């Protein structure tokens, strides 16, 4: 049940959405209640007990890094929506999620951008809602949307939204704690050209003050598996990556 917020001048959002929540409870039917007021009233601060998810931004647009101006409002590409999540991860958790809007996979971006888009939404525990025409999607779009390993990262029972761990300018590294001591690590190339990136795992430490997870990579070795390329390796070795423009590499780390 998605409750949109068009033509709502002088209406109190918390009261309106709470009224709908109570009506859903009264119906006796199980529903997922999606709050969609575009983050205008900071629903992450009050909607944990009202809805199951809340939009954090205006509408999405099928582009990598753009603002599509409609006059009195704008829709946004993948990177602007990602950047607008800064500071919001502490509000997400099981049963209450930051919603980055339905995905635009298969709606005009290239395959690398689509794969990055899907991966970022999964890492950020955003609801994975397909916004393309399922009747006519390409094989590559279907392959992206049905990647079970990436979906498992999104649906992990801990429900921890990924944090930005390393910021190297064009290259950003996000990490997401998973159940049973695993981690997902995403390497994002924001640039318009391919980038080479090297990570000496042992020189880095990760501490997440929100989920209370931490890793000393010089003390504990993890095996990693690339979610999209099926390659494998170990954090005992230096990682060397070539990441295409507007692309990601995603790895699942396990200590077993």
Average pLDDT over residues 65-83: 94
SS3 state at 154:
helix
pLDDT of residue 247: 98
| Confidence band, pLDDT 50/70/90 cuts, at residue 7 | confident
- Per-residue pLDDT of 123-135, as tens digits, reads 999 999 999 999 9
- Per-residue pLDDT of 148-167, as tens digits, reads 999 999 999 999 999 999 99
Q: Give which of 217, 167, 216, 159 is closest to 187, Cα–Cα.
A: 167
Cβ atoms 55, 76 nearer than 8 A: no
The backbone torsions φ and ψ at residue 70, rounded to the nearest 5 degrees and listed phi first, read -105, 10
Q: How far apart are CA 120 and CA 81, in angstroms?
A: 10
Cβ atoms 186, 173 nearer than 8 A: yes
pLDDT of residue 72: 83
Q: Give bridge partners of residue 196 from the DSSP assignment.
A: 242
Q: What is the mean pLDDT of the chain?
A: 97
Q: How far apart are CA 224 and CA 207, in angstroms?
A: 19
Residues 6+ apart with CB under 8 A from 77: 60, 61, 62, 63, 64, 65, 66, 67, 68
Rounded to an integer, what is the distance from CA 206 to the centroid of its chain?
19
- For residue 256, pLDDT over 80 is answered with no
Average pLDDT over residues 236-247: 98
| 14-42 exposure pattern, b = at least 16 Cβ within 10 A, e = fewer | eebbbeebeebeeeeeeeebbbbbbbebe
- For residue 78, pLDDT over 90 is answered with yes
Catalytic residues, which ones? Answer: 4, 59
pLDDT of residue 10: 87
Tokens of 163: 């944090």
- Per-residue pLDDT of 184-241, as tens digits, reads 999 999 999 999 999 999 999 999 999 999 999 999 999 999 999 989 999 999 999 9
Q: Which domains does the chain have, with CATH numbers?
A: 2-154 (3.20.20.70), 163-254 (2.60.40.1180)
Average pLDDT over residues 58-80: 94
Q: How many CB atoms lie within 10 A of CB 171?
A: 18
- Torsion (CA) 27, 31, 32, 34 in degrees, nearest 10: -40
Give first-to-last CA distance, the chain, whole Å. 41
| Confidence band, pLDDT 50/70/90 cuts, at residue 9 | confident
Tokens of 251: 């790895």
pTM score of the predicted model: 0.97
Average pLDDT over residues 65-85: 94
Q: Give ∠ CA 187-188-192 in degrees, rounded to 5.
A: 140
pLDDT of residue 71: 87
Cβ atoms 184, 193 nearer than 8 A: no
Residues 6+ apart with CB under 8 A from 137: 106, 145
pLDDT of residue 5: 93
pLDDT of residue 254: 97
């Amino acid at each position: 049940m998605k409750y949109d917020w068009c033509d709502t001048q002088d209406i109190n959002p918390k009261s309106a959405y709470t009224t709908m929540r109570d009506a859903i409870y009264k119906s006796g039917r199980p529903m997922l209640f999606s709050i969609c007021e575009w983050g205008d009233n900071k629903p992450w601060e009050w909607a944990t007990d009202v809805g199951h998810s809340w939009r954090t931004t205006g509408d999405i647009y099928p582009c990598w890094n753009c603002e599509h101006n409609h006059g009195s409002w704008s829709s946004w590409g993948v990177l602007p929506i990602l950047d607008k999540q800064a500071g919001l991860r502490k509000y997400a958790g099981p049963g209450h999620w930051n919603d980055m809007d339905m995905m635009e996979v298969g709606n005009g971006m290239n395959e690398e951008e689509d794969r990055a888009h899907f991966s970022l939404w999964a890492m950020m525990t955003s609801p994975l809602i397909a916004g393309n025409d399922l009747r006519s999607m390409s094989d590559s779009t279907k392959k992206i949307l049905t990647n079970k390993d990436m979906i498992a990262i999104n649906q992990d029972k801990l429900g921890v939204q990924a944090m930005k761990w390393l910021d190297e300018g064009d290259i950003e590294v996000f990490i997401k704690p998973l159940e049973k001591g695993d981690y997902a690590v995403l390497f994002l190339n924001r640039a318009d050209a391919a980038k080479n990136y090297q990570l000496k795992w042992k020189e880095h430490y990760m501490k997440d003050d929100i989920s209370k997870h931490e890793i000393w990579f010089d003390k504990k070795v993890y095996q990693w598996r690339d979610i999209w390329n099926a390659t494998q390796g170990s954090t005992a070795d230096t990682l060397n990556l070539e990441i295409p423009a507007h692309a990601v590499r995603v790895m699942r780390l396990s200590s077993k």
